[in-house]
């Protein structure tokens, strides 16, 4: 039969067993999170020492986001990064852009490599892509540029950061010389956003553009008129790389 001493020993042994199991669980949990955080940080390329975004940095990013660049936000870490992309016909431009971003301290020192992919029509396309580091200060960029994960908008502070540098990055990356003017495919944005953007170009820099449908529903191009190309060139010529100069002269 159980007496008081046996009951005490039973409860004491149960407590010791619970203590051992709980301690082992906590140790295992700490080891797991330590390993997970280590490799998550490596795989996500997180750096908490990324320099603060200054006006030049925002101009570079804003100009690129008018083109093919995107912002990704990671819910698990509450950090964001910018992805830059360009097909191989403009490799020199993307390497120029990479050097700008790298010199600001926003990405690692791994020079982008030429990659390949298969187009819808079976053609092999060469392209280059690189990312900034994951950092929470890029969250503000994401919040200003996206209504949802798939819908880009022109941010309200574009009038501040549509600088000559931003315009150079945008037009070098996206511009297509057309009838002595410059065509800028800009399918990601709403019509009202494009009105805001073209008004900034005219009111701030005396560059007149028209908005044209590209033949698809709610998709547009911006066309800089030929007589305003000299204004554009004078504005951004100090940033134009040699392989892109043909677009403006």
Q: Where are the domains of the chain?
A: 1-44, 55-247
Instruction: Sort residue 218 into left (φ over 0), alpha (ψ -120 to 50) or beta.
Output: left
- Mean pLDDT for the stretch of residues 88-99: 83
Q: Is the pLDDT of residue 151 over 50?
A: yes
When pLDDT is cut at 50, 70 and 90, the band that residue 121 belongs to is: confident
Count of residues making up the chain: 249
- Summarised one tens digit per residue, pLDDT across range 62-82 is 999 999 899 999 988 889 999
pLDDT digits (tens, 9 = 90+) for 155-175: 999 999 999 999 999 999 999
Mean pLDDT calculated for residue range 143-151: 85
**Coil, strand or helix: which one is 175?**
coil
pLDDT band at 46 (very low <50, low <70, confident <90, very high): low
* Pairwise CA distance, residues 16 & 23, whole Å: 10
Residue 57 CA from chain centroid, whole number: 12
What the block records as the tokens of 100 is 């700008």
Q: Is the pLDDT of residue 47 over 70?
A: no
Q: Which CATH superfamily is domain 55-247 in?
A: Homing endonucleases (3.10.28.10)
Both tokens of residue 161?
């950061």
Residue pLDDT, tens place only, 4-28: 566 556 666 665 666 566 655 555 5
**How confident is residue 127, by pLDDT bands cut at 50, 70 and 90?**
confident
Average pLDDT, the chain: 84
Q: Long-range contacts for 25-32 (Cβ within 8 Å, ≥24 apart)?
A: none
Give tens-digit pLDDT for 192-240. Answer: 999 999 999 999 999 999 999 988 888 899 999 999 999 999 999 999 9
Entry pTM: 0.78
CB hemisphere CA count around 47 (13 angstroms): 14
Q: Which residues of 138-175 are buried (b: 16+ CB within 10 A; e: fewer)?
A: beebbebbbeeeeebbbbeebeebbbbbbbbbbbbbbb
Angle at 242 between CA 241 and CA 245, to 5 degrees: 90
């Amino acid at each position: 039969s159980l007496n008081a001493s046996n009951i005490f020993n039973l409860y004491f042994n149960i407590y010791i067993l619970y203590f051992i199991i709980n301690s082992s669980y906590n140790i295992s949990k700490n080891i797991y999170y330590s390993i997970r955080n280590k490799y998550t940080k490596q795989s996500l390329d997180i750096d908490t020492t990324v320099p603060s975004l200054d006006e030049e940095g925002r101009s570079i990013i804003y100009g690129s986001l008018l083109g093919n660049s995107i912002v990704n936000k990671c819910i698990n870490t509450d950090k964001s990064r910018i992805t830059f992309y360009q097909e191989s016909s403009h490799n020199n431009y993307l390497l120029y852009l990479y050097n700008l971003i790298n010199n600001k301290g926003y990405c690692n020192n791994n020079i982008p490599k030429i990659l390949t992919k298969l187009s819808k029509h079976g053609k092999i396309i060469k392209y280059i892509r690189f990312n900034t580091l994951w950092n929470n200060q890029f969250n503000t960029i994401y919040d200003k540029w996206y209504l949802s994960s798939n819908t880009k908008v022109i941010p309200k502070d574009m009038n501040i950061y549509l600088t000559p540098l931003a315009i150079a990055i945008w037009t070098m990356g996206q511009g297509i010389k057309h009838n002595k003017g410059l065509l800028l495919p800009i399918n990601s944005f709403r019509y009202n956003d494009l009105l805001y953007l073209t008004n900034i170009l005219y009111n701030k820099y005396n560059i007149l553009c028209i908005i044209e449908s590209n033949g698809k529903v709610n998709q547009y191009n911006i066309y800089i008129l030929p007589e305003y190309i000299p204004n554009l060139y004078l504005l951004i010529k100090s940033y134009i790389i040699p392989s892109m100069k043909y677009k403006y002269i």
